[in-house]
Copies of this chain bind each other. A is one copy, B any other.
Amino acid sequence: MLSSPALTATQALHKIDQGFAIQSLLQDCLAQISAREPVVKAWQCLNSAAAQQKAERLDCQENYRGVLGGIPVSVKDIIATADLPTEWGTPIYRDRNLGYDAAVVERLRQAGAIILGKTTTTEYASGQPTQTTNPHNPNHTPGASSSGSAAAVAAGMVPLAIGTQSVGSVLRPAAYCGVLGFKPSFGTISRFGVMPVSREIDQVGCFARSVDDLALLCSVLMGSDRRDPDCWTQPFSFEVQRLIQPPTIGLLRGPFWAQVENEGQAALMGQAESLAAAGAELTEVALSADFTAYFSHIETLMMSGLAVNHGKDLAQHPDQVSPKLRGLIEQARSLPPLAYGRARQAVVHYHRYLNSLFGRVDAILTPVTTGPAPIGLENTGSPLFCALWTLCGLPAISIPAGTAANGLPLAVQLVAPPRADARLLGIADWLIQSSKFAMN
């Protein structure tokens, strides 16, 4: 029997406080990895020896160990680590050691976390999938591009993982793997040391199995950093902003509702009903016609970013770049000259419209995926329902919402206004608690 792997970070920290050995916690994680990794394949590389040394050192440490003292964390392999290779999901950078820590890794280490290893990423966090399988059924994709991070948390290998989202790469795999996935507001977490897809949309996100854990992780990761010109958060203490009364929720089916499978539609409507039953005020909201272009706009930014940042890798190693990535870069090179500017302008209009919605509702409840994880590993699923919030830099969270007939997880998405991250977690927590109550 494995006890601790199912522990959340918050629970584990509580046990450590009461004398539970960090080495035992780590052993339980490593045992879970041994048991499940042959099938799940979540890890690009594992740092067991260093992790064990650190656990031993922390166990001997008399003084305060930090906010995440002793908690094993996995990091997506597009994020730089000084002591492990950073391969970006491409054979071009196999075994490449960048020799420095990304800002988020620095912060994790300062907080006493144990960086247990790097979890898989699709090629350049783009379309070419990894070998990682869905922990709920190895014949299904775990989603992408933070595939390994989502799978590792879902399989109980680590309580916390770091990923990134430029279109739908945190919330989608979280939804498919049945864990919480949270992408905070744009600009709150430094991207220094994170491989760029596109400056305009790249955002760091978190995987966990409880809202408290997400808040704990954010309190460590958030903060200003001059090395990321778009990261200007002033340091603040971050914790879940608990609700004192039921929230007002805007139910948004959106322009692409018809693309949501029946089970996904039922999951969203069921969640809405259970929220209403618990006392939330529910109101249907809609987007204006110009929102139908959002996916094309985010594609422009994503493809252009890949071309600008990684086009030279394609030129130098054409045989080691997947046809998918080559296609994206070539498409970027034939975009209309004003496409990028139009995308950036559209976001200003979207913000204006969404501001008016958020004048009426505390958060938006909306689909996160088209349904449960697709079969096979080649199709990692559609980021369509995550893309708008990524494009606008709004905080968004994926929350498990039951299971499909095939046993795979379903999920819904909650979105809040810019910088209302703490409040969004409060609403998410309220939703989860009230759903539990409804099930009893």
Report which A residues bind B (CB closer than 8 A): 187, 196, 198-200, 224, 226-227, 229, 232-234, 301, 304-305, 307-309, 311, 332-342, 344-345, 347-348, 351-352, 355, 392-393, 417-419
Contacts and interface: CB of A to CB of B under 8 A. Distances in A.
A229 B392 contact: yes
A333 B339 CA distance: 10
B308 A229 contact: no
A226 B338 contact: no
B338 A417 contact: no
Nearest to A394: B229
How many copies of the polypeptide does the oligomer hold? 2
Contacts of A334: 337
Given A226-B417, A232-B418, A234-B234, 20 more contacts: A196-B345, A199-B344, A226-B418, A227-B351, A227-B355, A229-B347, A229-B351, A229-B392, A229-B393, A301-B341, A304-B338, A305-B345, A307-B341, A308-B338, A308-B341, A308-B342, A308-B344, A308-B345, A332-B338, A333-B337
A223 B339 CA distance: 31
Nearest to A350: B229
A307 B338 contact: yes
A345 B307 CA distance: 11
Nearest to A192: B352
Contacts of A355: 226-227
Contacts of A344: 199-200, 308
A191 B339 CA distance: 23
A57 B341 CA distance: 46
A341 B305 contact: yes
18 contacts: A187-B232, A196-B348, A198-B341, A224-B419, A226-B351, A301-B341, A304-B338, A304-B340, A305-B345, A308-B338, A308-B342, A311-B338, A332-B341, A333-B337, A335-B337, A337-B339, A337-B340, A340-B341
Nearest to A234: B234
A229 B348 contact: yes
Residue in A311, A340, A347, A393 with the greatest tally of chain B CB atoms within 10 Å: A340
A354 B345 CA distance: 28
Contact of A336 (B309, B337, B352): B337
Nearest to A304: B341
A342 B232 CA distance: 22
A307 B344 CA distance: 13
A240 to B, nearest CB: 20
Contacts of A226: 351, 355, 417-418
A101 to B, nearest CB: 16
Nearest to A339: B337
Contacts of A392: 229
The 8 closest A-B pairs by CB, nearest first: A340-B340, A304-B341, A308-B341, A229-B351, A335-B337, A308-B345, A234-B234, A226-B355
A333 B307 CA distance: 20
A308 B198 CA distance: 20
A70 B289 CA distance: 45
A105 to B, nearest CB: 18
A238 to B, nearest CB: 14
B200 A352 contact: no
Contacts of A348: 196, 199, 229
A224 B232 CA distance: 12
Nearest to A306: B341
B304 A227 contact: no
Residue in A304, A341, A418 with the greatest tally of chain B CB atoms within 10 Å: A341
Contacts of A200: 344
A308 B300 CA distance: 15
Nearest to A200: B344
Contacts of A418: 226, 229, 232
A326 to B, nearest CB: 15
Nearest to A331: B337
Nearest to A393: B229
